[in-house]
Amino acid sequence: MKNLYRFFWDCGRSGYLEGLFAATEENVNSAIGEDIYFGEVLGKHSEVYGVLEEGDIEKLYILPEAVEEVSQFLGSNWSGFNPLDYVKTSCDNCEESYRKDEWDCEYREEFDKNLCHECMEELKKENK
C-alpha cells in the first residue's frame, strides 16, 4: 500500500527542490543511501546530485486509502520532484551510472547482474 511522502533538498544559493509523491515504504527505504542525480534542474550548470538520506523524505500521515484514491487521478508524482525517479543505477559490467530516463540499466536475471542495455547485448553476443 502506498503512503504520501514529502521530499525536500536545500541546495544552498541555487535554491531548493521539493515534492509530494506516493510510494510504498519499501520503495522509499530502498532509495535511502542511493545516489540521486537531478541534472541541471536549478539552472544551467547547477548539476544537482547527492546521496538520499532519511531526513530528506518525510512520511505524511494520511490514510493509505485516501492516498490510493487520489493517486488514481494524480498518479504517483503529486507535485514537484520525486527523488525515486532520479536514483542512479550502476552497470556491474562497465560501472557506468545511469538514471532510468537516461539509459536502460536494470537487474538482468539471465546474467545475475545489473547491466545496461549495451553491456547486456555484448554479453549475449559473447555467450552465443
Residues 100 and 55 in one domain: no
Task: For 13, list phi and psi in degrees, rounded to 5.
Answer: -60, -25
| CA nearest neighbour of 110 among 101, 98, 119 | 119
Residues 44 and 99 in one domain: no
- Residue range of the domain that includes 41: 1-86
Domain count for the chain, please give it. 2
Residues 56 and 81 in one domain: yes
Whether the CB-CB separation of 88 and 34 falls below 8 Å is answered with yes
The length of the chain, given as a count of residues? 128
Residues 47 and 96 in one domain: no
Q: Please give the Cα distance from 55 to 92 (Å, whole number).
A: 29
Residues 55 and 104 in one domain: no
Looking at residues 26-49, what average pLDDT do you find?
92
What does the pLDDT read at residue 77? 96
Dump pLDDT digits (tens) for 83-122: 999 988 778 888 777 676 666 667 677 878 778 878 888 8
